[in-house]
C-alpha cells in the first residue's frame, strides 16, 4: 500500500502513519486544491476473514459516526469510499500533534490551559452526544492539538451510535487505562462513559500522570473499578484543591454520581 499514488480522485503523498491493517497518507483533493489526510484499510490484510470483516465494519462505523458531526473541535470527515480491496476515509488534514506526544515528552500544562483544552474537548463531546454518538475511546492519542493548540477530536472507529442496535451492552471496547468501570465490565454505556475517560485526560493534564496505572491491563482495570487515585493537588503544587472535587466527580465509579453531561462538566471547570 505504501506504493499507492492515487485513490479515487485523491493524490497520495507522504505516509503519516502505519497500522496493522492500513496506512494513513497526506493527500491532495485536486478538485478543491485541499490538503487532506487519507486513512486506508486493506480489507484482505487480516489473518482471517472474520477479523477482516470486523476491521472493515469498524472503519465504516468511523465514517458514519464522524460524518454526521460538524464541529470546529472534531476532525472533519470529507469522504468515504472503496477501491478494489482498499477502503479509505478522507479527513481534514491537521497540522499538529497528539496530546499523547506532549505527555510522552513530559511537557506540562498550566491549569488555565488545561481548562481551555478540556473545555474544547467537552464542547466537542457535547455536540457528539447530542447527535447520539458515544465516542468510547477518549484518550490523549485521539485528541490532536493543531498549530494554534486548538483541540481536534479524532478516531470515532469504536463509536456507538445510540439510535442503532449497537447501543446495548456488549464486549469491552476502548483503551484500558482510560476506560470507565462499566466499559471494563461490558455493561451498558452512555455519554457518562466518555465523561469518565475525559476525567482521566483532565487528571493527566493537571498532574502529568495517569490516575490508574499498573503492570498489566488487568491490574489497571482492577484499580479503575476499585481504587480512588491520589488527589491532583497532592501531586502538583500549582493545582488548586478545587480541581480535586471536579476530578473526583468525573471519575466516580457509579455513572449516576458523575456529571450528567459534557456541558455540566465544562461548567464546573
Residues taking part in catalysis: 137
- Rounded alpha-carbon distances, angstroms, from residue 87 to 104, 137, 154: 31, 22, 18
Burial (CB count <10 Å: 0-12, 13-18, 19+), residue 44: exposed
Question: For the residues of 102-113, what is the DSSP string, one character each?
Answer: HHHTT----HHH
How wide is the angle at C-alpha 194 spanned by C-alphas 266 and 56, nearest 5°?
Answer: 140
Measured between alpha carbons, how far is 221 from 214 in angstroms, rounded to an integer?
A: 9
Q: How far is CA 140 from CA 43, 44, 102, 134, in A?
A: 27, 30, 9, 17
Amino acid at each position: 500500500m505504501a506504493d499507492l499514488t492515487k485513490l479515487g480522485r485523491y493524490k497520495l503523498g507522504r505516509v503519516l502513519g502505519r497500522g496493522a491493517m492500513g496506512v494513513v497518507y497526506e493527500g491532495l483533493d485536486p478538485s478543491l486544491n485541499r490538503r487532506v489526510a487519507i486513512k486506508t484499510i486493506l480489507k484482505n490484510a487480516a489473518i482471517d476473514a472474520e477479523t477482516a470483516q470486523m476491521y472493515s465494519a469498524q472503519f465504516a462505523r468511523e465514517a458514519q459516526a464522524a460524518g454526521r458531526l460538524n464541529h470546529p473541535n472534531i476532525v472533519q470527515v470529507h469522504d468515504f469510499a472503496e477501491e478494489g480491496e482498499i477502503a479509505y476515509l478522507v479527513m481534514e488534514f491537521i497540522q499538529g500533534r497528539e496530546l499523547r506526544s506532549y505527555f510522552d515528552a513530559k511537557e506540562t500544562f498550566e491549569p488555565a490551559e488545561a481548562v481551555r483544552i478540556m473545555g474544547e474537548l467537552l464542547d466537542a463531546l457535547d455536540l457528539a452526544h447530542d447527535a447520539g454518538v458515544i465516542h468510547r475511546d477518549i484518550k490523549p492519542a485521539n485528541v490532536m492539538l493543531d498549530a494554534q493548540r486548538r483541540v481536534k477530536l479524532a478516531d470515532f472507529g469504536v463509536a456507538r451510535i445510540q439510535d442503532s442496535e449497537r447501543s446495548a451492552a456488549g464486549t469491552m471496547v476502548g483503551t484500558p487505562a482510560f476506560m470507565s468501570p462499566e466499559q471494563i465490565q461490558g455493561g451498558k454505556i452512555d455519554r457518562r462513559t466518555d465523561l469518565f475517560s475525559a476525567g482521566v485526560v483532565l487528571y493527566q493534564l493537571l498532574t502529568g500522570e495517569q490516575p490508574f496505572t499498573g503492570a498489566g491491563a488487568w491490574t489497571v482495570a482492577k484499580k479503575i473499578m476499585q481504587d480512588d487515585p491520589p488527589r491532583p493537588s497532592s501531586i502538583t503544587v500549582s493545582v488548586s484543591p478545587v480541581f480535586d472535587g471536579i476530578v473526583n466527580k468525573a471519575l466516580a465509579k457509579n455513572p449516576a454520581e458523575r456529571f450528567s453531561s459534557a456541558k455540566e462538566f465544562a461548567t464546573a471547570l
